[in-house]
Amino acid sequence: MYNEETLDFSTIKKELEKHCGSKIAKELASQLEPMDEREVIQEALDEMVEAIRSLQMEIEQPLGGTRDIRESCKKSRKDIVLTRENLWDILITIGAYKRMTKFFRQKYMEYPLLSLWVQDMPNHDRIENRLKRVFDEKGELLDTASPKLASLRNTITKTRERIKNDIQAILHDKDNQKYFQEALITQRNNRYVIPVKQEYRQYFDGLIHDKSATGQTLYIEPMRLVNLNNDLQEAILGEEQEVLRIYKELSGLVKASSNDLMDACEKVSHVEFVYGKAALAITMKASPAVLSPNREVKLMKARHPLIPANIVVPTDITLGMDYRILLITGSNTGGKTVSLKTLGLLSLMNQSGLCIPAEPGSMLPIFHNIYADIGDEQSIEASLSTFSAHMTQVISIIKHVGPNDLVLLDELGSGTDPEEGSALAVAILDYFRKKGALMMVSTHYNELKNYAYHTEGIENGHVEFDERTLRPTYRLHIGVAGSSHALSIAARLGLPKDIVKDAAEYKSKFANNEMEEVLSDLNEQLRRASDRERALKKELDEARRMRGQLEREKKQFNEKRKTMMTKAQEEAENMKRSIRVEGEQIIKQLKSQFSETNTKKRQDAINAARKGISGVQVPQAPLDDERKELTANDIKVNQVVYVTTLRSLGTVLSINGKRVNVDINGLTATVKLNELRSTTREEGNKLERDQKRPQPKERKRSGMAVLRQQQASTEINILGQTVDEAVVSVGRFIDQALLAGIGQVRIIHGKGTGALRDGVHQYLRTLPQVRHFETAGYDEGGAGATNVVLK
């Protein structure tokens, strides 16, 4: 039980109608009623949340194009021939049904509840294809709708052309021109005629069909056109009969599919209605309430949806936890009635499957009934005073109220003697308290405030009043009663100061004056605490904003730093590589200059030069997350590690002293122990997921290719081999590295006489797969090894 007008729910339904696109969806909005089954309400809210997400995320929505085809389906069942407009509406609507069905079948995972409404949508291809063969894109009947219609329309066109040609010949005949009032072609009774002057009637042979209002002009059908006009009329009648036959045939198709069409109409209209609710929610900046299992009301920043957003003051309302009855006091026009209506209206909206204008997480129970006595209900016709009208409403509520109901009473006990009214109000409150219903009541009586302070299950609250500006702030505070501030408001409205002063003196003599002063002091303290809270919240929000901004700037700085260091490292590596090449050339020249007797001195100079080149410091790019260098004790088989030289994550396969075999994307690479760094847990989990993910199909490779990939290494030792043997080994080694996707390798050839090294270098210069090569660094074997970079 509830009153739509009292709680403004009828206005909400009218707003909802505006957001619904189709006629049937608007009807569903006008028929919307609150529900009391938890599962049904929750499903309605969940459907609306999906529609909100669709409106916010999807570029194209599955809406639009539907027409109300219910009446056409009903007519077809009675064998009434449908009009062109009826049939065209059905064709357009079937197309809209198909678009919606296609959308939700593709988006089933994103919108499962809405998809259920169209998953069993009947197939209308047969009737749609037939209608498409009959109508063009503008809904006009095509000439090709039937062979007979095409023939008749062709006859009509040709006959009209012949008639017009004959009339033009008559009109342009010099002997006839004096007979005509004006040289134009017109029609009377669907027959082509010529306007002829009255005085020349006897000179012009033909049938009179009409005359002008003055009688000076006669509309005559020339005798030579009679047969052609007869042929035209016969063809037009034939066309009308054929069109009627086609529409009758199509109406029969609609009749055969009427049940499926009506079923589809109901399902699609429901989806359109849900999207209308979602559009209203977005407009109101509303969110779905949590359905409370324990009759608890917790509204956060709730707003009355019909008060403009730039005026409404959000309010917090709690009820049903520590207390079941909330008694609101405060000044007139301070927002007490708005608070009552906000709770009642939002409860109705929630139980109707609508979002409510409140913060996410707000909670509302499901009420069996919502009773409201709000506003001035004085009835002149029934000879009832304001007090009598209110009492009549309250008595009716008392007769029907139950523990699962919500009761909203405005100015309880007002309109009569204050002492009797307050006593009656206390008794009524006590009755409702024992019944167990949730209540929100507004009053000015101090006796009720005192009663609430001393009675379990009832809590005081008040709407804030600013003593400095003498204006209400409309904020609801729970826990402290408020004053009416009648004298302050009267003074602000213009009551003479002398009267206000006298009233204040009289008030000081009343018994309740001390309580009023205490309440005023408490409210002033509460106002100051609220101001401090708002200031602190503002500072906290600003601090959070600045912290977020600093975090973003820090991240951008680290990324920029990493990019710059990586670029600097690449440039330094290139420079070091050039120095090595030049150094080797200088060393070669030094060898030729030193005598054989000075071998030790020569070798010391060469070693010193190479050591100096190797000691060139290259800036290192920052390691992700400051990766820790790993020792032999830190590494285990199957551990995920980061290989610095290859800049990749890999899994440890085996450990051989200072050499470690690592699996990188299915490839086995042999790297040095000091090239390994630690990884994060997230990187390890990601690598594991990537390895489990199905790989795209590739062309089947030979067993030899797979074997080469599995056995690929980043290093080869050719010590003791001749140049010819080394060339074969190095060639095979580089081929395996290329197949495995390895970009850099090392060839260990030893120092010796340098012949083996020179022979390998000479061979490397002939390979197009080699980007460049250089003598290894001092810590990598110096002149006894060569680093090769592959393309």
- How far apart (Å, rounded) are the C-alpha atoms in residues 284 and 304? 10
pLDDT confidence of residue 297: 94
| pLDDT for position 260 | 92
- DSSP classification of residue 383: T
Structure confidence at residue 4 (pLDDT): 74
Identify the residue with better confidence: 222 or 19: 19
Q: Which residues contact 139 (CB under 8 A, 6 or more apart)?
A: 84, 85, 88, 91
Residue 501 has pLDDT above 90, yes or no: no
Of 50 and 705, which is predicted with more confidence? 50
Pairing of strands 363-364, 290-291: parallel
Q: Establish whether 197 is an annotated binding residue.
A: no
The distance in angstroms from the start CA to the end CA of the chain is 82
| pLDDT tens-digit map of 716-744 | 898 888 888 888 888 888 877 776 667 78
Question: Alpha-carbon distance 325 to 433, whole Å?
Answer: 7
C-alpha 683/C-alpha 678 separation (Å) is: 10
CA distance 740 to 752: 31
- Token pair of 418, please? 């204050």
Which range among 144-148, 382-386, 514-518, 552-556 has the greatest average pLDDT? 144-148
The confidence score (pLDDT) of residue 532 equals 78
Residue 779 pLDDT class (50, 70, 90 cuts): low
Annotated binding residue 336: yes
pLDDT tens readout for residues 454-466: 888 888 887 765 5
Task: Grade residue 41 by pLDDT with cuts at 50, 70 and 90.
Answer: very high
Specify the amino acid at residue 326.
L
Quick: pLDDT tens for 64-115: 889 999 999 999 999 999 999 999 999 999 999 999 999 999 988 999 999 9
**What is the distance, to the nearest Å, from the Cα of residue 517 to the centroid of all Cα atoms in its chain?**
53
- Report the alpha-carbon distance of residue 672 to residue 777 in Å, rounded: 14
Lowest mean pLDDT among 391-400, 519-528, 685-694: 519-528
Task: Please give the average per-residue pLDDT across 217-226, as a whole number.
Answer: 84
- DSSP-H helix ranges across 633-722: 681-692, 703-710
Given pLDDT bands bounded at 50, 70 and 90, which one contains residue 547?
A: confident
Find out whether 165 is annotated in a ligand binding site. Answer: no
* Least confident stretch, 169-178, 374-383, 640-649: 374-383
Q: Is 335 marked as a binding-site residue?
A: yes
Higher pLDDT, 481 or 774: 774
Q: What is the pLDDT of residue 493?
A: 57
Confidence of residue 291 (pLDDT cuts 50, 70, 90): very high
For position 713, what pLDDT does the model report?
Answer: 73
Domain 623-694 listed as CATH 2.30.30 = yes
Taking the domains of the chain in order of start, what are their residue ranges?
Answer: 9-124+257-284, 145-248, 291-496, 623-694, 707-791
Mean per-residue pLDDT of the chain: 81
Distances (CA, A) of 131 to 65, 66, 541: 16, 16, 62
Fold of 707-791: Ribosomal Protein S8; Chain: A, domain 1 (3.30.1370)
Lowest mean pLDDT among 303-307, 437-441, 455-459, 628-632: 628-632
Helix (H, G, I), strand (E, B) or coil at 668: strand
pLDDT at 595 over 80: no
- In terms of CATH architecture, what is 9-124+257-284? Orthogonal Bundle (1.10)
Residue 602 CB neighbours (<10 A): 17
Check pLDDT > 80 for residue 142. yes
User: d(Cα 537, Cα 557) in Å, to the nearest integer?
Assistant: 30
CA 568, 572, 577 angle in degrees (round to 5)? 150
Is 332 flagged in the annotation as binding? yes
For every residue of 135-186, DSSP letters joined together read: B-TTSPBPGGGSHHHHHHHHHHHHHHHHHHHHHHHHHT-TTTGGGBSSS--E
The percent of residues above 90 in pLDDT, for the chain, comes to: 31
What's residue 699's pLDDT?
Answer: 39
Selected residue with higher pLDDT from 655 and 288: 288
pLDDT at residue 492 above 70?
Answer: no
Could you give the CA distance from residue 163 to residue 229 in angstroms, rounded to a whole number? 8
Q: What is the pLDDT of residue 701?
A: 42
pLDDT for 704 equals: 40
Residue 378 has pLDDT above 80, yes or no: no
In this structure, of 69-83, 365-379, 486-500, 706-720, the range with the lowest mean pLDDT score is: 486-500
Q: What is the mean pLDDT of residues 14-27?
A: 94
Which stretch, 55-59, 482-486, 731-735, has highest mean pLDDT?
Answer: 55-59
Q: What is the pLDDT of residue 754?
A: 85
645 annotated as ligand-binding? no
Higher pLDDT, residue 418 or 510: 418
346 band by pLDDT with thresholds 50, 70 and 90: very high
What is the pLDDT at residue 705? 42
Q: What is the pLDDT of residue 313?
A: 83
pLDDT for 541? 82
330 known member of a binding site: yes
Report yes or no: 351 and 288 within 8 Å, Cβ to Cβ. no
The correct CATH number of 291-496 out of 3.40.50.300, 3.30.70.100, 3.40.50.150, 3.40.50.2300 is: 3.40.50.300
Structure tokens at 672: 């040095």
248 vs 647, more confident: 248
123 marked ligand binding residue: no
Q: Could you tell me which residues come within 8 angstroms of residue 690 by beta carbon, excluding any fewer than 6 positions away?
A: none
The total number of residues shown for the chain amounts to: 791
Q: Sheet with 667-672: list strands edge to edge.
A: 667-672, 659-664, 648-656, 640-643, 676-677
Q: Mean pLDDT throughout 214-231?
A: 84
Please determine, for residue 435, whether its predicted confidence score (pLDDT) is greater than 80.
yes
Instruction: Compute the distance between CA of residue 773 and CA of residue 93 in angstroms, rounded to an integer.
Output: 72
Mean pLDDT of 581-591: 61
Beta-bridge partner residues of 197:
217
- Asked if domains 9-124+257-284 and 145-248 share a fold, the reply is yes
Residue 497 has pLDDT above 80, yes or no: no
User: Could you tell me the pTM of the whole model?
Assistant: 0.61
Residue range 145-248 forms a domain whose CATH class is: mainly alpha
What single-letter amino acid sits at 491?
A: A
